[in-house]
A and B are shown apart, each in its own frame.
Chain A
Amino acid sequence: MNTLRLLKTSTFQLAAVYMGLFAVSALVMLAFVYWSTIGYMSSQTDSTIEAEIKGLADTYRRGGLQSLTGLVNERMRNDPDRTMLYLFATPDYKPLGGNLPAWPEAIPAGEGWVNFPFTDNGTESTARGRIFGVSGNLRLLVAMDIADLQATESLLMTAYLWGMALALVLALLGGALMSASVTRRIEVINQTSREIMSGRLHQRMPLKGTHDEFDQLASNLNDMLEQIDVLVESVRHVADGVAHDLRTPLTRLRSKLERLSIGPGLDASARQELDRCIDEADGLLQTFSALLRIARIEAGRHEASLVEVDLLELAADACELYQASAEDQGVTLSYDGSPVTLNGDRDLLFQALINLIDNALKYAGTGEVKLKVGKDKRSIFLSVTDQGPGLSEEDRQRVTGRFFRGADSAKISGSGLGLSLVQAVAGMHGARLELENANPGLRITMRFPADEAVG
């Protein structure tokens, strides 16, 4: 099964919709986790700074600037890793003391929260802090290095992005696998249906034994097929039975007529009448035989004797057989093509070809009947073309049905089974029967699959 077809299946489309929904909800969930983690971590930093500032402010209120600087100095001493950053500055931001070398640029005047870049032992880092005014327009910046926070933030972001991508890929894979497995099971049912439609009526849907919906569907279809089979079989039995049971008494009738006709004591006109009766009986017998034969072939009960058949040789023999009849009718019968062989039932193929030629001669009137044998990329073909009136589109559809007789065919003898038999023979050989307008006339082509191997 190719990818494009998989994309078109309804199971895949359903899977795609679920995949979309899944992706959106995963995105929402991850975004929520991300924002709450980052938010919690930032608020931790902020409250640490707030607490520190509160402590410093208390000290300042109690002991004035002196104790504040003392405390800050003490803090800095105890914190060689610079977890907390402090900077005193004049109103014009000249640093007075602290563990930051300079007042960070791009920090607005006044009080409030700021984020600023700074260099920590040679590495670029970011800090977050708060500025507040101390007496005499001095300013104190209390800040914390938030590089870790930012690293965590970007780590989380990366992890979430990868997670999303992975989830999408998994969803895509899962969807494809799911739809492929569903499609495969449906395809099995489709495949079997096609086989059944092509005549293997005894074929059944395979069951997995899991009793799931597909098994139930398959088993229901099987029950249905069973019923169809029974019906078809009974119709066939009736048809075969009628044809067979009528054939025997009809043969006896024919023989009696035959004996009467050659027996003594009949005048010429009675004899003639009897001969006509015999002809009628022969016609009926031939129709019954043809019906039975078609039924046998279509039911696959004809044990085909497959041999390598040269279609060109077949065409040559058929032409030779019909040449005299065609000439009597004023029709030019010819064949051409190249020798092509296929595995088939020689007698049945010959019969089919004879029926086609017979039809062409019957309906084409005068002109030419041409046989062509050949092979192209996809098939081996055998066609019979006449220059007769052809068939209407509608008739072309119906012509292979049993007992179909063309319009104005009342004067033409025949049972209307000729093309049904051709159709049955074609079907048995896996060939298609194509009817087309030959402008003028009709072309009937039997198209066999090129890698002919009759099953």
Chain B
Amino acid sequence: MQPVAGFSQPAKAAEFPILGYHPLMRILVIEDDATVADYIVSGLRESGHTVDHADDGREGLMMATTEEYDAIVADRMLPGVDGLTIVRTLRASENHTPILVLSALGEVDDRVKGLKAGADDYLAKPFAFSELLARLDALLRRGSHETVQVTRLQVMDLELDLLSRQVLRSGQAIDLQPREFRLLEYLMRHAGQVVTRTMLLEAVWDYHFDPQTNVIDVHISRLRSKIDKGFEQTLLHTVRGAGYRLGEHT
């Protein structure tokens, strides 16, 4: 794999191909519903992660404070201590492990509450497993380079300068609309990872809604025609059933 600006994590091809590349991590899953817990735990294990599972809030909080995890997936409604309290308690004790909160409520207001409590991301149940993986992946990576102030992003021969707002592919300037620039920036920041359509809508358009049609696909295909057209190696890939990935073809 080509060096990716800003990302220094050792990357290894996962067993679960839709993940693209992501490091193997230790993840704590706090979920009381056995079916959902099994679904998440087995999925994550299949992807090569080490997973611990707690089925109530108190136990989960204890594990989260005594063990070192790379990421925590916590249900919002839990017996004992609820998910948001776990998040608050951990943040209050200076524990900055990335946390993704799951919720059956899943409306925007719940999301806002979750993020305010200090969670890093929020996912409404039921969710596609690829969505959870993509979001976890993004969280895990973010944790590793958060402190680095990036002004220039590079993926293979594609370069993006955040200051001059210039995009070059093999040294050729590419003219992008402001929104296309933000879209590309987000994809480059998550190079090698799968980003879902919802993640793009939230990050690039800053609205939380269900697009009725393939609006995102249209934007992606425009961007693709600008950055990939005429080049032998395509960079922007569609990941079936999940979303998109910018990077080397796998």
Contact = CB atoms under 8 A, between A and B. Distances in A.
B214 to A, nearest CB: 8
A5 interface: no
Interface residues of A, number: 46
A23 interface: no
Interface in B198-250: 205, 207-215, 218-219, 222, 240-242
Contact of B218 (A251, A262, A328, A413): A328
Given A255-B128, A262-B240, A289 B215 contact: no
A278 B241 contact: yes
B13 interface: no
A324 B222 contact: yes
Given A261-B240, A414-B212, A418-B212, A324 B126 contact: no
A344 to B, nearest CB: 12
Interface of B: 16-18, 35-36, 39, 43, 104, 107-110, 112, 125-130, 179, 205, 207-215, 218-219, 222, 240-242
A375 interface: no
Contacts, number: 94
A403 interface: no
Contact of A358 (B16, B127, B213): B213
B138 to A, nearest CB: 19
Nearest to A326: B218
A275 B215 contact: no
A261 B241 contact: yes
B133 to A, nearest CB: 10
Given A325-B215, A346-B207, A418-B212, 8 more contacts: A258-B241, A262-B17, A296-B107, A317-B207, A328-B218, A348-B108, A348-B209, A350-B207
A286 B128 CA distance: 12
B136 to A, nearest CB: 15
Interface stretch (A10-18, A126-134, A194-202, A301-309): A301-309
B202 to A, nearest CB: 10
A413 B213 CA distance: 9
Contacts of B104: 244
A131 B240 CA distance: 132
Contacts of B130: 255, 258
Contact of B179 (A252, A320, A361): A320
Of B112, B125, B129, B241, the most chain A CB neighbours within 10 A belong to B241
